[in-house]
């Protein structure tokens, strides 16, 4: 008799995605082990680490140590920490104005060098293929030349994850399997459809995306402001539609954490733990209900 197959879809959100560690920890302690995992951006690297065999505690330890490494210092995220900045694009504009990214526009493709990106991914993940993982895993990226979503399930895990978390303008695009790839978070907030396509029949989605804030009219002072706000609304609307693809949704309270604030990892992990604990009873009930439905369907088919 085939059992209910659970999929876990981990969304992207930069540092907010560290909440996935807390989610995995509480799910595991309660015997909820996913049969499939898919991730976008930060969800890709956390998901891949877990699927490679690392425990949530081990993943947290690696994050803690990473923040003291030369790799992290070379990422220069501290220079992005301007209180008034609310988005990647606004962060970049702020730095350009301060001449910290001299001639970035039109001269360099990204804030970070490719070597820094490669060292970061190598620090967190072993040099193995997707097929070598202990739990089936996939990650999502965008082919910027074709304008399409790419689901990565084969080849080097390091290259695949690097593709999924290559934030446009911050990290360079990754050439992989004939594609030129960047962060999949722009079009896939949680990859619930991906884990369903992999074979699960109950998808748990973890949304750590930022929320759409109300803004006063006096903040819309230019054509750029209007265009940027319109783009934000379009992306938010698309995300709300995609969130409905999950059979159960977890939304850790990390919306105030900015994407580059990795040093708030403990706060994010705790938010992930609290979210699962709060909804654990409902989650277990829904899983049991779906197990029963699966059983009945198999008996009478």
For this structure, is 41 an active site residue? Answer: yes
Residue for token pair 């970049």: 92
Could you tell me whether strands 137-143 and 36-40 are parallel, antiparallel, or unpaired per DSSP bridges?
A: parallel
CA distances to 113, 239, 277, 278 from 17, in Å: 22, 16, 18, 18
Provide CB contacts within 8 A for 241, sequence distance 6+.
none
Residues 35, 143, 183, 207: which is the catalytic one?
183
Residues 41, 52, 156, 166: which is the catalytic one?
41
Q: Cα 116–118–119 angle (5° rounding)?
A: 65
Whole-angstrom distance, CA of residue 149 vs CA of residue 141: 6
Q: What are phi and psi of 270, to 5 degrees?
A: -60, -40
Provide CB contacts within 8 A for 230, sequence distance 6+.
none
Provide CB contacts within 8 A for 136, sequence distance 6+.
35, 36, 37, 51, 153, 198, 199
**161 secondary structure, DSSP code:** H
For this structure, is 251 an active site residue? Answer: no
Catalytic positions are 41, 183
């Amino acid at each position: 008799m085939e059992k209910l197959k659970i999929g876990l879809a981990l969304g992207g959100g930069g540092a907010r995605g560290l909440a996935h560690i807390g989610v995995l920890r509480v799910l595991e302690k309660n015997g909820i082990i996913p049969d499939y995992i898919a991730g976008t951006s930060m969800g890709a690297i956390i998901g891949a680490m877990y699927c490679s065999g690392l425990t949530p505690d081990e993943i947290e330890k690696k994050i803690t140590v990473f923040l003291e490494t030369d790799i992290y210092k070379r990422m220069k995220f501290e220079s992005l920490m301007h209180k008034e900045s609310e988005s990647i694009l606004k962060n970049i504009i702020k730095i350009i104005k301060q001449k910290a990214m001299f001639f970035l526009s039109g001269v360099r493709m990204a804030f970070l060098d490719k070597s820094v990106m490669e060292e970061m991914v190598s620090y967190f993940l072993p040099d193995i293929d997707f097929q070598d993982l202990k739990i089936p895993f996939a990650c999502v990226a965008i082919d910027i030349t074709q304008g399409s979503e790419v689901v990565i399930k084969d080849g080097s895990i390091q290259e695949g994850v690097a593709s999924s978390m290559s934030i446009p303008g911050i990290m360079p695009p990754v050439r992989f399997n004939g594609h030129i790839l960047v962060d999949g978070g722009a079009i896939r907030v949680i990859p619930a459809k991906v884990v369903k396509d992999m074979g699960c029949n109950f998808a748990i989605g973890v949304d750590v995306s930022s929320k759409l804030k109300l803004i006063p009219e006096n903040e819309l002072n230019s054509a750029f402001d209007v265009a940027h706000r319109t783009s934000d609304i379009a992306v938010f609307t698309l995300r709300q539609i995609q969130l409905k693809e999950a059979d159960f949704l977890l939304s850790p309270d990390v919306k105030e954490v900015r994407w580059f604030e990795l040093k708030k990892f403990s706060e994010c992990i705790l938010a992930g733990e609290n979210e699962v604990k709060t909804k654990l009873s409902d989650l277990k009930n829904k899983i049991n209900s779906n197990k029963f439905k699966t059983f009945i369907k198999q008996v009478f088919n």
